[in-house]
Amino acid sequence: MRVDLDLGDLGFDEGAALLIRRALRASPPGKQVLVTGCAPDLDLHIESWCRSEGHEVKFRRSNQQTHAVVTCGSAPATRWLDAQRAGLPNPAVTGAVSDHPSRRWGLAARGALVESNVPEFDFNLVDRAKVWVPDAGHIYTLATAAQWDPATAIPWQAQFESDTEIEDAVVQIMTYLIENETAALMVPSRFIAQLHPHFQEVMQVLAVQAADEARHIEVFSRRARLKRDLLGCSTSGGQESLKTLIDEPDFAVSSFLLSVLGEGTFLSLLWFLDEYAPDPVTKMVSRLAAQDEARHVAFGIAHIREHLANHPGKREQLTNAIRRRHDRLHNTSGLNAEVFDALVHVAAGSWSVPDLRCGYGRVKRLIAEMHDLRRKRLVQLGYSDEEASELSGLHTRNFM
């Protein structure tokens, strides 16, 4: 059967190739299309285009019109013969997310038809059982809806008087928060680059987490510099603790240590700062960061729960990771004295003995609450009360 295609005065400089390709699409070799048209140089361009596409063309001349009979070559029909469908777009559909997506699917969107000669990509995280979180799409939606603008969400212009030493304490706490948030940015960022993009929603959650942390770094930095030109101290013990997170090569272990235990503990700290902040800016940056961190913790728990459901044997590896980290940090100082003192001072509000006693008690209750919530999260993941209590006690004294 032959198809007629009238290009009118449409030339190859305005898209004529699209119409010819459409007429030949999915055509068996040998199918003919009679192309007519009157654009300048149309003969020349049809002939050259057909040669490069592997089609035959013969011309019939008449008046000023081009009459070209294009016979479909074998190339278009064979091109997609061995293409693969890279899963399905909707992750809720059974089989949509592949257990072991091919590295040759590369960067293709999930659900795309992938040509077979795509080069192989060096993704490391390619097993669904290790990375997939069924609720990731929902968590991502919540995360994007909850994004806030540091320029407008924080009352930067608020007028407040601050005691010089209280301000010093706030600056020290912000300095500590910044380096912890930097670790929390770098860890998911590294795994994004290793993750097969087939697990699209997980990739997106990690990306928005990294963006969250970037924003936290911004607002903590800005709060620290509100009344000071210099920041506080960064200690070797604190950095030694964070380095264990940066150095952890396993995605699940990293997620467990950082999101479930570290950010979970940090959540208590940020709500503590929201409650005892000496000024409205400190209060708001802590509150907004806490809201973001809560999502990170929820994703971490969902990830580890799914992972343990697929790999019950992984529990031992996670347990060992806590013990190993504890052993590595055993001889370090953990939370630096400057940060601890700053927290007490901020919670006390002054150096008076009654206030200091009160502030000290609040920080002790904070640490007890951190332990209690860590323990509960571990129980959520299937640990016994006894195990959870012991493992929570081994968590870094640096909080994150």
Partner 1 sequence: MSEPLILGAVAYDDKVVSIWEGFKSYFFRRGLEFDFVLFSNYERQVQMHFANQIHIAWNSPLAWIQSQRIAASSGRQAHAMCMRDTDRDLTSIIAVRSDGPIYSVAELKGKKVAVGAPDSPQATLIPLHFLTEHGLTPDVDFEVVRFDRLAGKHGDHIGGERDAALALMRGETDAACMIDSNHLLFTQEGTLQPGATRVLARTAPFDHCNFTVLDGAPADLVNRFRDLLLSMSYADAEVRRLFELESLKQWLPGRTSGYSALNAAVDRFGVIAPFVTKVAAACG
Q: In whole angstroms, how close is the CB of 198 to partner 1 at the nearest point?
A: 20
* Pairing outcome for strands 113-114 and 84-85: antiparallel
Distance, CA of 21 to CA of 55 (rounded, Å): 11
Burial of 291 (0-12, 13-18, 19+ CB in 10 A): middle
Q: In whole angstroms, how close is the CB of 41 to partner 1 at the nearest point?
A: 5
Question: Contacts with partner 1 in 23-82 (CB under 8 A)?
Answer: 40-41, 44-45, 47-49, 51-54, 73-75, 78-79, 81-82
**58 versus 364: smaller Cβ distance to partner 1:** 58
Question: Contacts with partner 1 in 157-176 (CB under 8 A)?
Answer: none
Distance, CA of 183 to CA of 208 (rounded, Å): 15
Q: In whole angstroms, how close is the CB of 115 to partner 1 at the nearest point?
A: 8
**24 versus 258: smaller Cβ distance to partner 1:** 24
Phi, psi of 6 (to 5 degrees): -100, 115
Q: In whole angstroms, how close is the CB of 79 to partner 1 at the nearest point?
A: 7
Distance, CA of 376 to CA of 394 (rounded, Å): 15
Q: Which of 321, 6, 336, 279 is nearest to 163 (CA)?
A: 279
The correct pick among 4, 6, 13, 247 for binding partner 1 (CB under 8 A) is 13
DSSP letter, residue 279: S
SS3 248: coil
**44 versus 93: smaller Cβ distance to partner 1:** 44
**Beta bridge pairs of residue 195:** 125
Q: In whole angstroms, how close is the CB of 40 to partner 1 at the nearest point?
A: 6
Distance, CA of 237 to CA of 2 (rounded, Å): 78
Question: Contacts with partner 1 in 300-359 (CB under 8 A)?
Answer: none
Question: Contacts with partner 1 in 199-258 (CB under 8 A)?
Answer: none
Q: In whole angstroms, how close is the CB of 54 to partner 1 at the nearest point?
A: 3
Cα dihedral: 108, 109, 112, 116 (round 10): 10
Residue 30 Ramachandran class (φ > 0 left, ψ -120 to 50 alpha, else beta):
left
**43 versus 341: smaller Cβ distance to partner 1:** 43
**82 versus 161: smaller Cβ distance to partner 1:** 82
Give how many residues touch partner 1 by CB under 8 A. Answer: 26
Site string for partner 1, 105-124 (x = CB under 8 A): ----------xxx-------
Distance, CA of 355 to CA of 347 (rounded, Å): 8
Location of structure tokens 């929570």: 392
**Beta bridge pairs of residue 65:** 62
**81 versus 230: smaller Cβ distance to partner 1:** 81
**82 versus 229: smaller Cβ distance to partner 1:** 82
Concatenating the DSSP letter of every residue in 118-169 gives: PPPP--SB--HHHH--TTHHHHHHHHHHT---HHHHS-TT------HHHHHH
**115 versus 240: smaller Cβ distance to partner 1:** 115
Question: Contacts with partner 1 in 129-148 (CB under 8 A)?
Answer: none
Interface with partner 1 by CB under 8 A: which range of 7-15, 184-192, 281-289, 388-396?
A: 7-15
* Pairing outcome for strands 2-6 and 32-37: parallel
**1 versus 81: smaller Cβ distance to partner 1:** 81
Q: In whole angstroms, how close is the CB of 103 to partner 1 at the nearest point?
A: 14
The correct pick among 4, 6, 14, 163 for binding partner 1 (CB under 8 A) is 14
Structure tokens at 381: 């993941």
Q: In whole angstroms, how close is the CB of 97 to partner 1 at the nearest point?
A: 24
**83 versus 207: smaller Cβ distance to partner 1:** 83
Q: In whole angstroms, how close is the CB of 44 to partner 1 at the nearest point?
A: 6
**13 versus 163: smaller Cβ distance to partner 1:** 13
Q: In whole angstroms, how close is the CB of 239 to partner 1 at the nearest point?
A: 44
DSSP letter, residue 229: S
Structure tokens at 24: 């030949």
Q: In whole angstroms, how close is the CB of 61 to partner 1 at the nearest point?
A: 14
**Beta bridge pairs of residue 66:** 37, 61
DSSP letter, residue 230: S
**Which residues lie near partner 1 (CB under 8 A)?**
11-14, 17, 40-41, 44-45, 47-49, 51-54, 73-75, 78-79, 81-82, 115-117
